[in-house]
């Protein structure tokens, strides 16, 4: 295995890269309007890394100095034997790896909450954009809110800390943001609000539904004063205490407040492609090297990826901006 003392996970701009997001599948059982097209063309199984290959690449990154890993999708819980992979990566907890987390849409969480906790996961993000069943079904193109609610109950019972991720959408769920915040407080969950991102063609006009979180924060502050805090969880969210509530509010603002200067992340797709930035198409492909030459062949590609990590993304929404900054969907790169 790689000697950590002889390597570095510092990019060409001097940023320390210690957080890896791994998409274990591009498949999902929902079709959220801001994320995916209604009819998706998913990857053939032979183009997707095996769970063993994902585990080997995770081993390499942990040896290089990655301290946090988040498993994503698509929907990671649709991947068969996903708990086996989590157990395998979880063996590194307290031995290099500080945290192993998961982002899920919650539809399969009822069956997986206890196994996730048993495998070493202590914190999960659950994507939930509405507490109204009909509106939830509209946003997800047919999703069942009750399945997610059951999953959240199971997560709480299993001892998993839950953060709700809510994409703020003008004229769709803007009126639910304050109720969602208060509901999260009643449930013991945290809440992170996210601006919609121009990734992939979805069949929807994101400009129509773009809601700047600067406006949202002002509206919340009128009811519950927001106080910025220094807490970080490894990702791009900036957190606030909320007056009168026990919930911690995070804001992810790729459009109104760029968070790239202190980026500490890379993303690996289920094909083994490393994307140095969510908003760029440039990537380094590990799969062929791994299958032909093992981890020794992948090692120099890590350094190549670090050197090529850009200073910032170029997300824009508006009449003069392309409908998608990159053509791949969020489900490909991982949320």
270 marked among binding-site residues: no
70 marked among binding-site residues: yes
104 marked among binding-site residues: no
Neighbours of 288 (CB within 10 A): 12
Rounded Cα gap, residues 207 and 137, in angstroms: 21
The string of DSSP letters for 15-35 reads -B--EEEEE--S--S---TTT
32 marked among binding-site residues: yes
206 marked among binding-site residues: no
The string of DSSP letters for 146-206 reads HHHHHHHHHHHHHT-EEEEEEEEBTTTTGGGHHHHHHHHHHHT-EEEEEE---BS--SS-H
35 marked among binding-site residues: yes
Neighbours of 199 (CB within 10 A): 25
Q: Contact at 8 Å (CB) between 173 and 138?
A: no
260 marked among binding-site residues: yes
- Backbone φ and ψ for 37, nearest 5 degrees, come out as -80, 160
170 marked among binding-site residues: no
268 marked among binding-site residues: no
**Residue stretches of the annotated binding site:** 21, 28, 32, 34-35, 70, 74, 103, 127, 163, 197, 260, 263, 265-267, 277
**Residue stretches of the annotated binding site for S-adenosyl-L-methionine:** 34, 74, 127, 197
**Residue stretches of the annotated binding site for GTP:** 21, 70, 103, 163, 265-267
**Residue stretches of the annotated binding site for [4Fe-4S] cluster:** 28, 32, 35, 260, 263, 277
């Amino acid at each position: 295995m790689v000697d950590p003392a002889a390597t570095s996970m510092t990019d060409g701009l001097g940023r320390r890269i210690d957080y890896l997001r791994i998409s274990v599948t591009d498949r999902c059982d929902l079709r959220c309007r801001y994320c995916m097209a209604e009819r998706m063309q998913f990857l053939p199984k032979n183009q997707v890394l095996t769970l063993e290959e994902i585990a080997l690449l995770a081993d390499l990154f942990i040896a290089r100095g990655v301290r946090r890993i988040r498993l994503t999708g698509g929907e990671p819980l649709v991947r068969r034997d996903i708990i086996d992979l989590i157990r395998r990566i979880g063996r590194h907890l307290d031995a290099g790896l500080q945290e192993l987390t998961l982002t899920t849409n919650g539809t399969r969480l009822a069956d997986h909450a206890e196994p996730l906790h048993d495998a070493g996961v202590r914190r999960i993000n659950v994507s939930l954009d509405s507490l109204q069943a009909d509106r939830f079904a509209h946003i997800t193109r047919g999703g069942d809110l009750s399945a997610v609610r059951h999953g959240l109950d199971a997560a709480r019972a299993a001892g998993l800390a839950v953060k709700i991720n809510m994409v703020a959408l003008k004229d769709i769920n803007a009126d639910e943001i304050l109720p969602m915040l208060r509901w999260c407080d009643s449930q013991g969950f945290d809440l992170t609000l996210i601006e919609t991102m121009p990734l992939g063609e979805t069949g929807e006009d994101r400009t129509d539904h773009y809601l700047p979180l600067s406006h949202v924060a002002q509206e919340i502050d009128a009811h519950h004063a927001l106080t910025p805090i220094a807490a970080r969880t490894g990702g791009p969210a900036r957190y606030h205490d909320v007056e009168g509530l026990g919930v911690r509010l995070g804001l992810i603002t790729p459009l109104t407040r760029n968070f790239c200067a202190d980026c500490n992340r890379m993303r690996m797709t289920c094909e083994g492609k490393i994307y140095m930035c969510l908003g760029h198409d440039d990537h380094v492909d590990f799969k062929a090297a791994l299958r032909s030459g093992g981890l020794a062949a992948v090692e120099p590609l890590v350094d190549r990826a670090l050197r090529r990590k850009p200073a910032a993304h170029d997300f824009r929404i508006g009449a003069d901006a392309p409908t998608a900054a990159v053509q791949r969907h969020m489900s490909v790169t991982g949320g």
